[in-house]
Amino acid sequence: MFETLLAGIRSIHDHVDGQIPLHAPWFDADDEAAVVECVRSSFVSSVGPEIVAFERDLCERTGCSAAVAVVNGTAALHTALLMADVGTNDLVITQALTFIATCNAIRYTGAQPVFIDVDADTLGLSPEAVKRWLEEQCEMHDGKCRHRDTGRWVKACIPMHTFGMVMRITELLNLCEEWRITVIEDAAEALGSSRNGRHAGTFAPIGTLSFNGNKVITCGGGGAVLFKSIELAAQAKHLTTQAKVPHPWSFAHDRTGYNYRMPNLNAALARSQLRKLDHNLAAKRELHHRYSHLLASTPWTLVGDPSGTISNHWLNAILFRDREERDAFLEAANNVGIQCRPAWELATDLPMYQQALQAPLPMSRSIQDRLVNIPSSAHP
C-alpha cells in the first residue's frame, strides 16, 4: 500500500546510507573551530562574550528588541511565564496538541493549563476556539480575566507555532488584549518562520526559541527568550543568572533566581550554526517541494504553509485518512529504516493533565490520529 511512497522518500534521501533519521543536525569545520576557540579561551560557562554576541545576533535575525539566551527551550518558557507574572493557581491557556514542555513550564510556576483546540490549517491554537471558551467560561473583574467556576485569574496564553508553521497570532493577540491576557509565543520550532514578513516569536510581548539537537539550528541544547521590552529582558537576564547582584567579588542575591543562562561554549556553537540558517531554510524548502511533488497523486496530504506565512519546514508532516492507516504507515516506514513519528499524544490524555480544564478538542484529536512526521533533515 505504501511501497511507492516509501520508495520515493528513500530516493529523495539517496545520499543517506542506512536508516534515514527524522531530523539530524548538521555540523561542519566552522562549528568545530568555533567550539575549539571557545575552549581555548577558558570562558566556557555562563559568563563570556559569545553569549552576549549570540543574543545580539538573535535580535538582528528575528527583529526582537532584546534576547536572553538560556539552557533550553523549557527554561525559556518557564522564564517567560515568570516575566508575565504567572504564579500559583493562575490559569494559562494553551493547546493540547503540543510538546510536553509547554504544559510542564506552566506547572513549574504553580499555575494550571487550560487546553483549547487548534486550527486545521496551522495546527496552532485557534483564536475562535479561545474566544468561545472565554465568552462561555470567563468574565472581566477589576480589569482582569477571571474563570467563573474556579475564581482563578487567566493570566497568560501560550500558542505554539507547530512544526514551524506560524499560527494566526495577530487575531489571538487582539483577542487576548481585549481580555487583558498576556500572550507568550512558543516559537521553539519556528526559527526562520514568518507571517507577513514578521518573524515568529516577535508578535507577542514575549516569545521563546529552542536550539535542541533536532531543531533547525542547534548547540546541543539551548533556548532563548525574545522580548519587545528591553527593561523586561534585563529582569529576565538577572533572574536566569541566579538573581546575583553585580559586584566584583561579593555573592549577593536579591530574589530566588535560576541557573538558566546558556553557557558560553554552547553560545559559540549557536553563533556558528546561526550563520548557516539561510542554507538550512533553503534546503528545507527544496525538500518540502520534493515531498509535495511526491504526494501530489496520492490520497494523502502534505501539510503546507498556512496563508500569509513562510514556514521553516522544520518537520514535514503527512495527514493520513485515519489512525489505522497512520499506524500502518508508521510500522512500514520504520521497518525499512525510514524514521517517522506520530504527533504527540494530546496533553489531556496524559495522567498529569487529565483533570485540567479543557474545551472540546475535535481538531486536535483528528490531527493526532492522522499525522506522521517524515524525515526532514537539512543537508549540505
* Interaxial angle between packed helices 230-239 and 73-83, expressed in degrees from 0 to 180 and rounded to the nearest 10: 120
For the chain, the first-to-last Cα distance in angstroms comes to 32
Domains of the chain: 3-23+277-347+358-373 (3.90.1150.10), 29-275 (3.40.640.10)
Question: What are the grid coordinates assigned to 57, written together?
Answer: 545576533
Phi, psi of 342 (to 5 degrees): -80, 175
pLDDT at 380: 57
How far is CA 111 from each of CA 70, 105, 256, 359, rounded to the nearest angstrom?
22, 9, 18, 18
> Smallest Cα–Cα separation from 201: which of 43, 366, 2, 65?
65
Number of C-alpha atoms within 13 angstroms, CB side, residue 262?
35
Burial of 323 (0-12, 13-18, 19+ CB in 10 A): middle
pLDDT at 369: 98
Residues 6+ apart with CB under 8 A from 355: none
Instruction: Give the Cα separation of 368 and 345 in Å (integer).
Output: 7
Instruction: Give the Cα separation of 379 and 376 in Å (integer).
Output: 9
> Per-residue pLDDT for the chain (380 aa), expressed as one digit of tens each?
899 999 999 999 988 889 999 999 999 999 999 999 999 999 888 778 999 999 999 999 999 999 999 999 999 999 999 999 999 999 999 999 999 999 999 999 999 999 999 999 999 999 999 999 999 999 999 999 999 999 999 999 999 999 999 999 999 999 999 999 999 999 999 999 999 999 999 999 999 999 999 999 999 999 999 999 999 999 999 999 998 888 888 888 888 999 999 999 999 999 999 999 999 999 999 999 999 999 999 999 999 999 999 999 999 999 999 999 999 999 999 999 999 999 999 999 999 999 999 999 999 999 999 999 999 998 75
Amino acid identity for residue 377 in this structure:
S
pLDDT at 47: 78
pLDDT at 83: 98
pLDDT at 99: 96
pTM: 0.96
